[in-house]
Structure 1
Amino acid sequence: MAIANESRQEAHNMEEHHGSGRYWIIWAALLVLTLVTVFTGKMHMPSFGLALALVIATTKGTLVTLYFMHLIDHKGANRIVFCVSILFVMLMLAVPLIDLGTRFRFSNPPGSQYSDLQPPDIGANVKEGRYGGGVRHHGSEEKSESHGGH
């Protein structure tokens, strides 16, 4: 009996047609959010740039799901599934970020924004006699040149 009532409610919801004005408003909101994403993506915001991008993307996805996929018109289990999926997405993002923020100091790579360790000097410095991370011996260059012709 509950299934019959739910299908009757679904049929009633599908019979109600909404005007196109609602879709134009949602489309304009999505366009504005896309422009905000583009403009903030060109800015350098190391402290909250990722969080802002995730909030904007989540908002856009929610608008698309609710209005263009008509989830706003449905009741019951569909809304529960949507809310649980949003909860799982937030958990899947929060757990790695919490892990990264609470790591042991030396487990973060040197030079990253999460580490206060200095990056290793990998580049070549000919004046100091360093070639890409190690000191070359002058004898090794001569040996490699003498064996190159044979």
Structure 2
Amino acid sequence: MAIANESRQEEHNMQAHHGAGRYVVIWIALLVLTLVTVYTGRMHLPDFGLVLALIIASVKGTLVALYFMHLSEHQGANRLVFGVSILFVVLLIGFSLMDIGTRFRLANPPGSQYSDLQAVDIGANPTEGRTGGHQQLQKQTHEKHE
């Protein structure tokens, strides 16, 4: 009986439409967050760039789910599922970032912002520009034979 009452209540809530102003405000907030994402994406933020991008994306996803998918108007199980899913996203992101941040430095890929090693570019010679290793080897063997 409680489920039937909840369904009638939600149906009643869905009939009471909100004005377009609410959606315009959310849409403008999403545009601003997108511009912040683009602006910070072009900046070099080695320490907290990934965290900032994930936070902005999570806020944008939450706004879309709450207002455009009307989860803010629902009650009961829908709110519980949404809250638990947000909790697990936060845990997944948090544990992943803690793992990367506390890793042994040499275990990270060379050239990454978390590694002390320089990236290895096989086939590039910094003195002659970008030439392959095979061409260099041919040049060295040709000089030895002359």
Deviation at 1:105, TM superposition (A): 3.1
* Alignment match, 2:99: 99
* Alignment match, 1:30: 30
* Alignment match, 1:41: 41
Identity %: 66
Deviation at 1:104, TM superposition (A): 2.4
Partner amino acid for 2:84? V
Question: Aligned runs of 1:1-150 on 2, under 5 Å?
Answer: 1-120=1-120, 122=122, 123-124=124-125, 132=133, 138=141
CA gap 1:118/1:60 in 2 versus in 1, 3 angstroms: closer
- Partner SS for 1:18: coil
Deviation at 1:120, TM superposition (A): 5.0
Residue deviations 1:37-67 (CA, integer Å, cap 9, x gap): 1111111111111111111111111111111
Asked if structure 1 preserves the Cα contact closer than 8 Å seen for 2:71 and 2:78, the reply is yes
Residue deviations 1:7-42 (CA, integer Å, cap 9, x gap): 121122112111111111111111111111111111
CA gap 1:29/1:105 in 2 versus in 1, 3 angstroms: closer
Instruction: Mark the runs of 5 or more structure 1 residues left unpaired by the alignment.
Output: 143-150
> If the length of structure 2 is used for normalisation, what is the TM-score?
0.78
CA gap 1:116/1:24 in 2 versus in 1, 3 angstroms: same
Deviation at 1:95, TM superposition (A): 2.1
Corresponding residue pairs, total: 137
Deviation at 1:90, TM superposition (A): 1.8
Where does structure 1 differ by over 6 angstroms across 4 or more consecutive aligned residues? none
Asked if structure 1 preserves the Cα contact closer than 8 Å seen for 2:111 and 2:118, the reply is yes
CA gap 1:120/1:30 in 2 versus in 1, 3 angstroms: closer
Asked if structure 1 preserves the Cα contact closer than 8 Å seen for 2:106 and 2:116, the reply is no
